[in-house]
Copies of this chain bind each other. A is one copy, B any other.
Amino acid sequence: VISTNAGGTAVLRFGNTRAFVLGLEVVVADGRVWNGLRGLRKDNTGYDLKQLFIGAEGTLGIVTAAVLALHPAPRSRATAWVGVADVAAAVRLLATLRAALSARLVGFELVSAQALAISRRYFPEYADPLPGVPWSVLVELEDSGTEAALAAALEAALAEALEAGDALDAAIAGSLREAAAMWALRENIAEAQRREGPNLKHDIALPVSAVPEFLDYAGALLDRRYPGVRFVVFGHLGDGNLHYNLSPPPGFAAEAFLAEAPQVARIVHDEVAARRGSISAEHGIGQLKRDELVRHKAAVELDLMRSVKAALDPRGLLNPGKVL
């Protein structure tokens, strides 16, 4: 978790794993153990070394212990499924909810109609809360106050969005069971897509405001090259992080489509790079994206990374062949 700087559906509120790590114990390349197990919110005594090891995929040291910051458990939750006309409307909805609900807004997950259809095809027990909307947003709130106050705040914020035309319709979960069913629709997408057959996955991040334009441009380019390609787009719009997965056009052989992976990735990643996005928001570099990393990082950035790697692991012992 720490070495990949893992994220999830609550990054919008709480940040990635990096935001939770107060201290680390790390075995470094010469075999010594660095005990940096501090539990401090503030510490400006030299370089913040723990930051180096978080997300380094084990290439700079091996994390063996950590001190994590915790948040008090919430006392109330609310969940809503909101239909929007397009992704630009979803981005406006996000701004409205952040302004109205501040840190109560914990999750803001985008689901395309295609992604929802695939999820429901393999898990038909979960009903579509708002049939017919082209895009949906799953909104999750948490607070320390009462359920009633949180529900009222959510209703007021959604009413504002409906009035502004940014939301088409909204369904608020009336029970924990309904909330869990909404989350199941979202969380089953990946498994449903696996059952559906081979597809090409991309884990990208963009400035939130650039997401609509990216989807237009990348979608047009891919559809031109692979007419009828099926876009299964979902993810953490609150963080600008999309899972941009492509299933082959009807009649396109699965193996032939998978063989297109490098060409498809290039189209997707070039459109991401054109908007100063990330070609790996959550999933890291590993071995799979080493070549793409070199394509997308400037020489000075790669040189800095290599300098750090050489300084901390001069003999290249730590997770060799990964990242750099």
Q: A residues within 8 Å of B by Cβ?
A: 4-5, 7, 11-12, 15-16, 18-19, 28, 32-49, 51-52, 54-56, 60, 71-72, 74-75, 98-104, 142-145, 149, 153, 205-208, 236, 238-241, 276-285, 289, 293, 296-298, 300-301, 304-305, 307-312, 323-324
Check if A280 sits within 8 Å of B44, measured CB to CB.
yes
Is B304 touching A241 in the complex (CB atoms < 8 A)? no
Contacts of A15 in B (CB 8 A): 19
Q: Are A45 and B279 in contact (CB under 8 A)?
A: yes
Contact of A52 (CB < 8 Å), options: B36, B52, B285: B52
Across the interface, do A323 and B46 meet the contact criterion of CB distance under 8 Å?
yes
Q: Given contacts A39-B207, A44-B5, A103-B102, is CB(A49)–CB(B305) below 8 Å?
A: yes
Known: A39-B207, A52-B308. 6 other contacts (CB 8 A): A28-B300, A34-B301, A40-B278, A41-B205, A46-B301, A72-B99
B16, B101, B276, B278: the one contacting A45 at CB < 8 Å is: B278
What residue in chain B is nearest A42 (Cβ atoms)? B281
Residues of B within 8 A of A205 (CB): 40-43
Does B56 lie within 8 Å of A47, measured CB to CB?
yes
A42 touches B279 (CB 8 A): no
Q: How far is the CA of A157 from the CA of B37 in the complex (A)?
A: 33
Instruction: Closest B residue to A60 by CB, please name it.
Output: B47
Please give the count of copies of this chain that the complex contains.
2
Q: Judge whether B55 and A48 touch: CB under 8 Å.
A: yes
Q: Which residue of chain B has its CB nearest to the CB of A236? A: B42
Residues of B near A239 (CB, < 8 A) are: 41-42
Known A-B contacts A44-B283, A280-B45; the reply to A34 vs B240 at CB < 8 A is no
Nearest residue in B to A98 (C-beta to C-beta)?
B72
Q: A34-B304, A149-B149, A304-B28 are in contact. Are A44 and B281 (CB under 8 A)?
A: yes
Instruction: Give chain A's interface secondary structure class.
Output: loop
- Shortest distance in angstroms between A272's beta carbon and chain B's nearest beta carbon? 10
Chain B residues in 8 Å Cβ range of A283 = 44
CB distance from A267 to the nearest CB of B (A): 18
A144 touches B310 (CB 8 A): no
Assess the A144–B305 pair: CB atoms within 8 A: no
**B residues within 8 A CB of A103?**
102-104
Determine whether the beta carbon of B278 is less than 8 Å from that of A46. Answer: no
* A276 in complex: contacting residue of B38, B47, B297, CB < 8 Å: B38
- Residue of B74, B300, B308 touching A308 (CB-CB under 8 A): B308
Among residues of B, the one whose C-beta sits closest to the C-beta of A204 is B42
Contacts of A144 in B (CB 8 A): 99-102, 104
Q: Are A11 and B48 in contact (CB under 8 A)?
A: no
Task: Point out the residue from B51, B71, B101, B309 that lies within 8 Å of A48, measured CB to CB.
Answer: B51
Known contacts A48-B18, A311-B308; A11/B72 CB under 8 A: no
- The answer to whether B33 touches A300, judged by C-beta atoms less than 8 angstroms apart, is yes
Q: Contact at A207–B40, with CB atoms within 8 Å?
A: yes
Measured CA separation A305–B283 after assembly (Å): 28
Neighbour of A300 across the interface among B34, B56, B284, B296, CB < 8 A: B34
Residue on B nearest A156 in the bound complex, by CB = B145
